[in-house]
């Protein structure tokens, strides 16, 4: 026995999952409404009961994907800041979440560059918000009080860029643990390099 809203939500989920899966080969822009419908097991026209278009579907997926990203961010904040192993912990959490939310991360990585303009813009905006949050987090770290707000934003941007690249590399590593381990180790080293740079910032020209 199923209530009406339950059933609708279930179908909606099925559509989202189908789109996630189908877009994995290339792009959401290359996914047709009919493909999604077939995969879900509904008739094409029923799609419109849930989304106005495939693009609207894409925007919903962006929301969903970044919601899981925020969960990750919360996890990272969860620990003692100013801890020595903050780098290791952050990278580990990132890796775990990429494994956990593989489809979502892959979706963002793909649609960030390709994908309908609106979707692209939405992703860009979310990443920017992300950077801002990281910047305020960094401001709470000891030793950053001599930093200008702009430099903090610049640093946050660099870190986010590196982490996005790391996530993409992990996705590309697919099921090769050795490659992945190398990627993770690289990310840790890079973060440390950046931190060394940060700590010595403004002490030289």
Partner DNA sequence: ACATTCGGTGAACATTTGTACACTCAGAGT
Partner DNA sequence: ACTCTGAGTGTACAAATGTTCACCGAATGT
Which one of a second copy, DNA, none interacts with residue 195, CB within 5 to 8 A by kind? a second copy
Report the nearest approach of DNA to the CB of residue 112 (Å).
22
- The label of the residue with tokens 């970044």 reads 66
* By the rule CB under 7 A, 25 interacts with DNA: no
| Cα–Cα distance, 107 to 27 (Å, whole number) | 8
| Cβ proximity to a second copy, 30 vs 46, nearer residue | 30
Which one of a second copy, DNA, none interacts with residue 5, CB within 5 to 8 A by kind? DNA
| Cα–Cα distance, 113 to 184 (Å, whole number) | 23
| Cβ proximity to DNA, 3 vs 203, nearer residue | 3
| Cβ proximity to DNA, 20 vs 138, nearer residue | 20
Instruction: Tell which one of 53, 136, 161, 189 touches DNA (CB under 7 A).
Output: 53
Q: 99 near 42, Cβ under 8 Å?
A: no
| Cα–Cα distance, 3 to 116 (Å, whole number) | 35
| Cα–Cα distance, 101 to 107 (Å, whole number) | 10
| Cβ proximity to DNA, 14 vs 171, nearer residue | 14
Q: 109 near 184, Cβ under 8 Å?
A: no
Report the nearest approach of a second copy to the CB of residue 1 (Å).
42
| Cα–Cα distance, 160 to 124 (Å, whole number) | 12
* By the rule CB under 7 A, 35 interacts with DNA: yes
Q: What is the DSSP string of 36-90?
A: HHHHHTS-GGGGGGT-SSHHHHHHHHHHHHHHHHHHHHHHHHTS-TT-TTHHHHH
Report the nearest approach of DNA to the CB of residue 111 (Å).
16
| Cβ proximity to DNA, 50 vs 153, nearer residue | 50
6-14, 57-65, 99-107, 157-165 -> range binding DNA (CB under 7 A) = 6-14
Report the nearest approach of DNA to the CB of residue 105 (Å).
25
Q: Tell me the CA distances in angstroms from 82 to 27, 79, 87, 153, 200, one per residue in order.
A: 40, 9, 10, 19, 17
* By the rule CB under 7 A, 32 interacts with DNA: yes
For DNA, the binding residues (CB under 7 A) are 1-5, 7-8, 11, 32-35, 38, 41-46, 48-50, 53-54
């Amino acid at each position: 026995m199923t209530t009406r809203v339950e059933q609708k939500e279930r179908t909606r989920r099925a559509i989202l999952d189908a789109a996630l899966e189908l877009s994995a080969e290339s792009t959401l822009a290359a996914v047709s409404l009919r493909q999604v419908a077939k995969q879900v097991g509904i008739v094409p026209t029923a799609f419109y009961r849930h989304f106005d278009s495939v693009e609207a579907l894409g925007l919903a997926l962006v929301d969903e994907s970044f919601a899981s990203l925020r969960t990750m961010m919360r996890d990272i904040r969860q620990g003692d800041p100013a801890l020595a192993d903050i780098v290791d912990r952050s990278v580990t959490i990132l890796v775990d979440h990429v494994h956990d939310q593989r489809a979502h991360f892959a979706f963002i990585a793909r649609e960030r560059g390709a994908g309908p303009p609106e979707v692209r813009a939405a992703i860009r905006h979310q990443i920017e918000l992300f950077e801002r949050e990281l910047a305020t987090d960094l401001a709470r770290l000891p030793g950053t009080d001599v930093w200008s707000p702009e430099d903090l934003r610049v640093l946050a941007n660099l870190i986010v860029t590196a982490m996005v690249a790391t996530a993409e590399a992990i996705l590309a590593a697919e099921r090769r643990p050795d490659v992945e381990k190398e990627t993770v180790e690289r990310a840790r080293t890079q973060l440390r390099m950046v931190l060394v740079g940060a700590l010595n910032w403004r002490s030289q020209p």
